[in-house]
Structure 1
Amino acid sequence: MGRLVRRELRRGFSGPAWMPAAFFLLVVTLVPFAVGPDARLLGQIGGGALWIAALTAALLPVERLVEPDRADGVLDQLLLYGLADESVAAAKIAGHWLAFGPLLLVSALVGALMLRVPADAIPGLLLALGVGSLGLAALAVAVAALTAGLPRSGALAGLLLLPLAIPLLIFGAAASGDTGSGALLLEGATALLLVAGAPFVAGAAIRAGRT
């Protein structure tokens, strides 16, 4: 499992790993043009804007998470070596989060400063995004497995991922404003549920793709 995680991490950084972070900052940069330069208003909506940017940025790497390994026969080879599809999916989630999560948090810090988020709210915002990024990584791998091999899989992945991420978005945005509330616990429980369930969904999708 350790070698699989390291492989996914290397794959994440061998490609354009900076693209989700760059797209995140691009979305954040557009927010002041949409709502105006009012610093107070930007600070109020900053947490929600950063969450929407994170959700859209999570869509970018979906097509390269599972489909290349399916097309090259790597998933079949791993099965022959005795690795269950669920284990491979779990390794992909861990490797994807390690490549995606830290860059997202660095981008979120820059984005929070750009949107004039109050300084005392930034730690809570980063904590909520850090927890949420685990759930986003799990969702991305599950959706990637469900859409692998299908035509226009990128667009289909967006249609699947965005509605499934709504609970994470709601609790995460609420936790960003008040870490002492139960919203952070609800967000953590939602992320844990996604991390625990995504390998089984992805594993079932990979097996169905072989038939």
Structure 2
Amino acid sequence: MIALVARDLRLAIRAGGGFGLGLGFFLIFVTLTALGVGPTEAVLAPLAPGALWLGALLACLLSLDRIFALDREDGSLDALLTAPLPPEAVAVSKALAHWITTGLPLTVAAPVLAPLLFLPPSALPWLIAALAVGTPALSAIGTFGAALTVGLRRGSLLLSLIVLPMYVPTLVFGADCVRRAAQGLDPTLPLVLTAALTLGAIALLPFATAAALRVNLR
């Protein structure tokens, strides 16, 4: 699995779906939000938790179609599914590689960009915690959606339609955690619910992803 994750990291960076793509989109999204809504604290501060989480979610969505597409094009996906490594382990490796190249950089960059939206400094640790806990669920769900559409032409739009509704609970609880922290309330409950969603996605979706790959590549 370690070798597969390392290979996927190299492929993601070479294909342009690595660290730069998600971070660039996130920076543009936050900047345009600040300019479009109005560069005043009274307007931006209440919107900051939801805007930061929405930007991270959309940045994760950008590279989902690449998770299995490159392996599908060069035929290595068929070899992976017939290798001694279980398909569920392949799904976990793909999700982990996607999180390392997308979710982890966004988690690190979010507190740097948060002052542009006037997020209170007291909420920054909770923003980092919520993204660190919630973005693995986005990668796991995205890997499942990519497996469902791997055999389809122009499946990017369908992938978005499949994945976005499943992203909603993580978005709601993750943003609520940051919002409560910014308002001085206890953010523990939404953070725990975000973690529960992530654990459930990690526990269940690799099996669904493996089943989807078997069906689509049969």
**What TM-score, normalized by structure 1, do the two folds share?**
0.94
Q: Give the distance between the partners of 2:217 and 2:159, measured in 1 at CA.
A: 20
Q: Which amino acid in structure 2 is aligned with residue 5 of structure 1?
A: V
1:146-173 Cα distance to aligned partner (Å, 9 max, x none): 1112122111111111111000011111
Report the equivalent of 1:7: 7
Distance 1:97 1:185, change over 3 A: same
Could you say what secondary structure the match of 1:150 adopts? coil
Q: What is the CA–CA distance in structure 2 between the aligned matches of 1:80 and 1:159, rounded to whole Å? A: 30
In structure 1, the partner of 2:199 is 192
> Following the alignment from structure 1 to structure 2, what is the Cα–Cα distance between the partners of residues 79 and 121?
43
The gaps in structure 1 that reach 5 residues or longer are: none
Partner of 2:44: 42
Residue 58 (structure 2) aligns with: 56
Map 1:1-211 → 2, pairs under 5 A: 1-16=1-16, 17=18, 18-177=20-179, 178=181, 180-211=187-218
Please identify runs of 4+ aligned residues in structure 1 that moved more than 3 A: none
Q: Assess if the C-alpha contact under 8 Å between 1:25 and 1:111 holds in 2.
A: yes
User: Mean Cα displacement is larger for which, 7-16 or 19-28?
Assistant: 7-16
CA contact (8 A) 2:34 2:116 kept: no
| Counterpart code for 1:169 | L
RMSD of aligned residue pairs (Cα, Å): 1.5
**Structure 2 letter corresponding to 1:120:** S
Distance (Å, rounded) in 2 between the aligned partners of 1:57 and 1:209:
26
1:100 Cα deviation after fit: 1.4
Quick check: 1:67–1:145 contact (8 Å CA) kept in 2? no
Indicate if the aligned counterparts of 2:137 and 2:197 stay in contact, CA closer than 8 A: yes
How far apart, CA to CA, are the structure 2 residues paired with 1:138 and 1:35? 32
State the Cα distance separating 1:188 from its structure 2 match. Answer: 0.2
Q: Whole-Å Cα distance in 2 between the matches of residues 107 and 180 of structure 1?
A: 21
> CA 1:119–1:31 in 2, change beyond 3 Å: closer, same or farther?
same
Amino acid at match of 2:64: V
Is contact 2:178-2:187 (8 Å) kept? no
CA drift at 1:12: 2.4
Cα separation, 1, equivalents of 2:114 and 2:46: 11
In 1, Cα distance between the equivalents of 2:82 and 2:163? 30
Number of aligned residues = 211
How far apart are 1:63 and its partner, in Å?
1.5
Q: What is the letter of the counterpart of residue 205 of structure 1?
A: A
CA distance in 2, matches of 1:180, 1:36: 27
- Does the 8 Å contact 1:9/1:95 carry over to 2? yes
Deviations 1:54-104 (A, max 9, x none): 111111111110122123221221233222211111111111111112211
- 1:13-50 CA-partner distances (Å, limit 9, x unpaired): 22322011111111111112332122132122111100
Contact 2:151 2:217 survives alignment (8 Å): no
